[in-house]
C-alpha cells in the first residue's frame, strides 16, 4: 500500500514539474503560442495540487480498512 502511494505521489510530482522546462521546445517545434503552453503547464500543476489531497483522503480511508 505504501509503495502504491509512493508511486502516485511520484507520478503527480513528476507530471507537474517535468513539462515546465520543455515549454520553449513545445513553442518552437509544435508552433504553439506561449500562452497555450503556459496554460497547459499551469493546468497540469493545478491538477497535481488537486489530486494529491484526494490521494491522501483515499490513503486515510484505506489505512482504516487494514
Q: What is the pTM of this model?
A: 0.71
User: Residue 27: what pLDDT?
Assistant: 97
Dump pLDDT digits (tens) for 1-11.
678 778 878 88
**What pLDDT is stored for residue 66 in this prediction?**
63
For residue range 1-43, list pLDDT tens digits in order: 678 778 878 888 888 789 999 999 999 999 999 999 999 999 9
Q: What is the pLDDT of residue 55?
A: 79
Distances (CA, A) of 31 to 6, 28, 56, 60, 65: 36, 5, 38, 44, 50
| pLDDT at position 25 | 97
CA-based end-to-end distance of the chain: 10
Asked if 64 contacts 29 with a C-beta cutoff of 8 angstroms, the reply is no
Q: Which helix (H) or strand (E) holds 54?
A: helix 34-65
Amino acid at each position: 500500500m505504501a509503495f502504491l502511494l509512493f508511486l502516485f505521489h511520484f507520478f503527480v510530482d513528476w507530471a507537474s514539474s517535468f513539462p515546465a522546462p520543455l515549454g520553449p521546445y513545445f513553442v518552437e517545434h509544435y508552433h504553439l503560442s506561449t500562452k497555450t503552453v503556459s496554460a497547459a503547464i499551469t493546468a497540469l500543476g493545478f491538477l497535481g495540487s488537486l489530486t494529491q489531497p484526494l490521494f491522501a483522503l483515499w490513503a486515510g480511508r484505506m489505512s482504516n480498512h487494514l
